[in-house]
Amino acid sequence: MTLILGIDTATSAIAAALHDGVDVVADDARVDPRGHTEHLAPLVERVLASAGVRPGDLTDIAVGTGPGPFTGLRVGLVTAVTMGHALGVPVHGVCSLDALAENASWLMEGELLVATDARRKEVYWATYAATDSTARRLTDPAVARPAELAADLRSLPTVGRGPELYPGLFPDPVGPLDVDAGALVRLAARRMAAGEPMPVEPLYLRRPDALTTAERAAR
């Protein structure tokens, strides 16, 4: 029996879900932009317990690879890799923006923009084509100040917290705001079945928020 644990900590939500090879059987989330370390382990425990599953029953782990703020994103990646090593199961990476677009594809069709909070008055973003409840990425993930994006991009239906943070720049918000682990693990299951490569490579896109004293003095 297939049991895939999906986790993501790339956005303001700490999210976990369980997929049995057919569909999501349990999921949970907590919104706390700076509480990833505190909430992830208890969240995973609750998801497994609600499905009557033990860690040793897992066959795979899927994890959001960002882009996302360094500290929060690293929590999910380290947890997934550590669990995978301890349990002897493979770990698969999924771009977190892809998961947000996947979730939005259940609500709409056509071209859309995903824009998530990158802090420093910036957003992580990528564009997608949504059809038949799936989303195909059109551009590589990037980071930029919202006003630097072309007007035709900012006018697209926009998923993520970008419109909430910069309502004057993203006029057409579409839910959801944060990564849903159920959408992430569904996407992971589909890619696994198709034999697609899913490397666990973090998409930090820029240097960590925390700088050394020398680095701060050089800025």
* Distance, CA of 219 to CA of 214 (rounded, Å): 9
Instruction: Render pLDDT for 97-154 as a digit per residue (tens, 0 to 9).
Output: 999 999 999 999 999 999 999 999 999 999 999 999 999 999 999 999 999 999 999 9
- What is the C-alpha separation between 155 and 63, in angstroms, rounded? 30
Which pair of structure tokens corresponds to residue 29? 């989330």
Helix (H) / strand (E) element for 14: namely: strand 13-19
Is residue 202 within 8 Å of 74, Cβ to Cβ?
Answer: yes
Query: 184: number of CA atoms within 13 Å, CB side?
Result: 37
pLDDT at 43 over 60: yes
How does pLDDT run across 57-77, given as a tens digit for each residue?
A: 999 999 999 999 999 999 999
Looking at residue 1, its pLDDT comes to 87
Is 108-165 in the same CATH topology as 4-96+179-194?
Answer: yes
Whether the link from the prior residue into 176 is cis, omega within 30° of 0, is: yes
Query: What is d(CA 41, CA 47) in angstroms, rounded to the nearest whole number?
Result: 10
φ, ψ for residue 196 (rounded to 5)? -75, 145
pTM: 0.92
Q: Find the DSSP H helices in 88-161.
A: 96-104, 151-154
Checking if the pLDDT of 216 tops 50, the result is no
Q: So what's the pLDDT on residue 214?
A: 41
pLDDT at 51: 96
Q: Is residue 210's pLDDT more than 70?
A: no
CB 178 within 8 A of CB 161: yes
Residue 117 contacts residue 100 (beta carbons within 8 Å)? no
Cβ burial, residue 161 (10 Å; 0-12/13-18/19+): buried
User: pLDDT value at position 122?
Assistant: 97
pLDDT band at 175 (very low <50, low <70, confident <90, very high): confident
Provide the pLDDT for residue 207. 55
Query: Which fold would CATH assign to domain 108-165?
Result: Nucleotidyltransferase; domain 5 (3.30.420)
Classify domain 4-96+179-194 at the CATH topology level: Nucleotidyltransferase; domain 5 (3.30.420)
Beta-bridged to residue 77, according to DSSP, are: none
Residue 45 pLDDT class (50, 70, 90 cuts) = very high
Q: Which of 189, 183, 169, 184 is nearest to 106 (CA)?
A: 183
Q: Does 53 score more than 80 pLDDT?
A: yes
Check if the beta carbon of residue 178 is closer than 8 Å to that of residue 115: no
C-alpha distance from residue 65 to each of 61, 92, 190 (Å): 12, 9, 17
pLDDT value for 219: 41
Residue 213 clears pLDDT 60, i.e. is over it: no
Domain assignments of the chain as residue spans, ordered by start:
4-96+179-194, 108-165
